[in-house]
Amino acid sequence: MALSPQDRDLLRRLYRDTDPNKPIDPTKPGSEFYQPIYEGPGVEDPVKLLEAKIDFAETEGMFLLSGFRGSGKTTELLRLKQRLEAAGHLVLYADALQYVHPAQPVDITDLLISIAGALGDAIEERGGFGDPLHEGYWTRFEHFLRETKVEIPETGASGGGFSVKVSLRGNDSFRTRVRDALATRVQELENQVRKFAEDCVKAIRKRHPEGKVVFIFDQLEQIRGSLSGEKEVIQSIERLFANHIRRLELPYIHVVYTVPPWLKFVLAGTPVDVLHNVRQWNNDPQRTRFEHGCQSLLEVVQKRFGPDGMARFWANDAQPMRIIDSCGGHFKDLLKLLQETIARAAAAAELPVSDRVVDAALIAVRNSFLPIAYEDAIWLKNVFDSRRCALPSTGSEDVAHLTRLIDTHLILYLKNGEEWYDVHPLIRDDVIEMAAKPIDVPNGRH
H or E stretch at 255: strand 254-258
**CA 256-68-276 angle, 5° bins:** 85
pLDDT lower than 50: segments of the chain: 157-161, 444-446
pLDDT value for 212: 94
pLDDT value for 266: 80
3-state secondary structure at position 336: helix
Tally of residues, the chain: 446
Domain layout of the chain by residue ranges? 5-21+281-368, 46-275, 374-444
pLDDT value for 297: 95
**Residue 414 burial by Cβ neighbours in a 10 Å radius (0-12, 13-18, 19+):** buried
Give backbone dihedrals phi and psi of 256, rounded to 5 degrees, phi first: -115, 115
pLDDT value for 130: 56
pLDDT value for 443: 57
H or E stretch at 331: helix 331-348
> What is the 8-class DSSP label of residue 27?
T
Compute CA 101 distance to the chain's CA centroid, rounded to the nearest angstrom.
16
Angle between helices 331-348 and 5-17 (to 10 degrees): 160
pTM of the model: 0.84
